[in-house]
Amino acid sequence: MLGPGIPIGRIFGIRIYIDPSWIFIFLLVTWNLAAGALAVVHPEWGTTTIWLVAIAASLLFFGSVLAHELAHSLVARSQGVPVRRITLFMFGGVADIEREPPSPRAEFLITVVGPLTSLVLGIVFLVIGTAIAGISNLSIYNPEGLLAQLNPLSTIFLWLGPINIVLAVFNLVPGFPLDGGRILRSIIWAISNNLRLATRIASFIGQAIGWLMILAGVAMIFGAHIPFFGTGLVSGLWLIFIGWFLSSAASQSYRQLVIHHILEGVPVNRIMRTDIPTASPYMTIEDLVRLLLINSDERSFPVVEEDRLVGLVCIEDLKKVAREEWPIVPVSRIMTPRDKLITIGPNDDLAKAFEQLARIDVNQLPVVVGDTLVGLLRRRDLLRWLQIHSQIAR
């Protein structure tokens, strides 16, 4: 699962993030364009022009990837599936959709629009680039001469066109969780009426394709020439990396679905703790340590006032105050206040709770009815429940 990343804005109300790995791939693509193709074909442009064209082409390429993910997200919302965010990362982009589509038809529509968007963008870019370059100057029989005649603007568009078409084709590979794998899953789901079975089959095919990429990458390192991917150490290692990522993502996607099915429909009050020690907002930090932390294996405590949840204090919060001030500083000074906490209700299901714990990366969720604290859901209790029931389900 990708971390939150670096926020860069919102489009259609959807938050857009950049994962740190994106910076690496952006620099790599820009470097390959500037130091490779452009420097060889257009040495007369000069260093500044070459790098500006390379940067512009890279930015527009990742803009195309963003358009691909936005298409997924907008159709998902039209099908009633909420979208948390879109994150650009090393292998392109991912739309963080909150739950599985409600039907095979919805999944098909949500998925197919992505490759279609890339295909349309590719065709549009080719048409624009061709128009700018002048049709009379283009010849498929003399590609080197063609490239040498292009100006910077037509070069950008005629590079973006084919690469978007390649992106569309690659995403249609039937390896889950690629778009092609999700389309395959929607078809199997429609035939079998069993989402878990469809995901298992699509995930297995995704893992198989991932391992084929890994084996092909190893063969490329030892001199084999693979159509489209080429040969050599760098290309081979890159294909191995992509194959490993695809295989891991396919396996993880199936595990997440199994987890969701085990937890769905089980209320939080089934495993929440009700006999939990609580802190007062008026007790000193010294008393918090002496009365609660030393006598318990808990690392955080709800802060309550007359049964009302007013905050949460964790052992890490002790760092906010110097040790010599502990006897005089109240817990209310260091706690996380109620309005900044994520809480859950006792009748909410554990699938929702699991998503909340994973999304905000905390170890507990206060369980409340209104403002009244009725329990505490701990990550370790949920994981223990999951472990027991996943073994039974085998």
pLDDT tens per residue across span 192-203 = 999 889 988 999
Give which of 329, 240, 242, 346 is closest to 281, Cα–Cα.
Answer: 329
Q: Would you tell me how many other CB atoms lie within 10 Å of the CB of residue 172?
A: 20
Are 248 and 126 in the same domain?
Answer: no
- CATH number of the domain that residue 292 is part of: 3.10.580.10
Q: What is the mean pLDDT of residues 3-7?
A: 72
**59 and 106 housed in the same domain:** yes
d(CA 264, CA 256): 12
Residue 147: predicted pLDDT: 65
Section 116-120 average pLDDT: 96
Measured CA to CA in angstroms, residue 289 lies from 258, 317, 323 at distances of: 40, 12, 11
Task: Work out the average pLDDT over 158-175.
Answer: 90
Is the Cα torsion angle 132, 138, 142, 145 positive or negative in sign? negative
Q: Which residues, 6+ apart, have CB-to-CB distance to 222 below 8 Å?
A: none
Residue 80 lies in a domain: yes
Residue 4 confidence (pLDDT):
59
Q: Buried (b) or exposed (e) across 106-131, using 16+ Cβ within 10 A?
A: bbbbbbbbbbebbbebbeebbebbbe
347 and 267 Cβ atoms separated by less than 8 Å: yes
Predicted confidence at residue 131, as pLDDT, reads 85
**Residue 303, Cβ neighbours under 10 Å: how many?**
28
Is 8 among the domain residues? yes
In a domain, 58, yes or no: yes
273 and 140 fall within a common domain: no
Q: How confident is the model at residue 3 (pLDDT cuts 50, 70, 90)?
A: low
The pTM of the full predicted model, rounded to 2 decimals, is 0.75
Beta bridge partners of 275: none
Is 181 among the domain residues? Answer: no
| Final residue before a domain boundary, out of 226, 246, 263 | 263
Whether 69 sits among the annotated catalytic residues: the reply is yes
Distance (Å, whole) CA 285 – CA 40: 67
Which residues touch 274 (CB under 8 Å, ≥6 apart)?
Answer: 374, 375
Maximal CA-CA distance, the chain: 85
183 is a domain residue: no
Strand ranges for the chain from DSSP E = 6-11, 14-18, 83-89, 92-97, 300-305, 308-314, 336-337, 364-369, 372-378
pLDDT in tens, 261-318: 888 888 999 989 988 889 999 999 999 999 998 888 888 899 999 889 999 999 889 9
- Tell me: do 3 and 125 sit in the same domain: yes
Identify the pLDDT of residue 329.
Answer: 93
Q: Which of 243, 263, 283 is the last residue of a domain?
A: 263
d(CA 55, CA 26): 9
**Helical residues (DSSP H) of 174-304, grouped into ranges:** 179-192, 195-221, 233-263, 285-287
Helices and strands (H and E) in the chain: how many: 12, 9
Q: Are residues 47 and 148 in the same domain?
A: yes
Q: Indicate whether 150 and 240 sit together in one domain.
A: no
pLDDT at 83 over 70: yes
Residue corresponding to tokens 């929702």: 352
Degrees (nearest 5) of the Cα angle 109, 16, 343?
A: 90
Are 232 and 211 in contact by the 8 Å Cβ rule? The answer is no
Q: Where in the sequence is the domain holding 154, given as residue range(s)?
A: 1-172
Instruction: Provide mean pLDDT across the span 232-236.
Output: 82
Which of 145-154, 234-243, 300-309, 344-353 is predicted least confidently? 145-154
Same domain, yes or no, for 20 and 155?
yes
pLDDT higher than 50, residue 5: yes
**Mean pLDDT for the chain overall:** 86
Q: Are residues 51 and 134 in the same domain?
A: yes
Same domain, 338 and 288: yes
Same domain, 109 and 229: no
| Residues annotated within a binding site for Zn(2+) | 68, 72, 179
Per-residue burial over 62-93, b = 16 or more CB atoms within 10 Å of its CB, e = otherwise: bebbbbbbbbbbbbbbebebebbbbbbbbbbb
Considering the domain boundaries, does residue 292 fall inside one? yes
Instruction: Looking at the structure, tell me whether residues 127 and 50 fall in a common domain.
Output: yes
* Domain end (from 218, 247, 263): 263
Percentage of the chain beyond pLDDT 90 is 39
39 dihedral zone (left: phi>0; alpha: psi -120 to 50; beta): alpha
In a shared domain, residues 124 and 31 = yes
Which residue is catalytic, options 69, 298, 324, 355? 69
pLDDT score for 182: 92
What is the C-alpha to C-alpha distance for residues 37 and 39, in angstroms, rounded to an integer?
A: 6
Number of domains in the chain: 3
**Considering the domain boundaries, does residue 179 fall inside one?**
no
Tell me how far apart the alpha carbons of residues 344 and 63 are, in angstroms, rounded to a whole number. 37
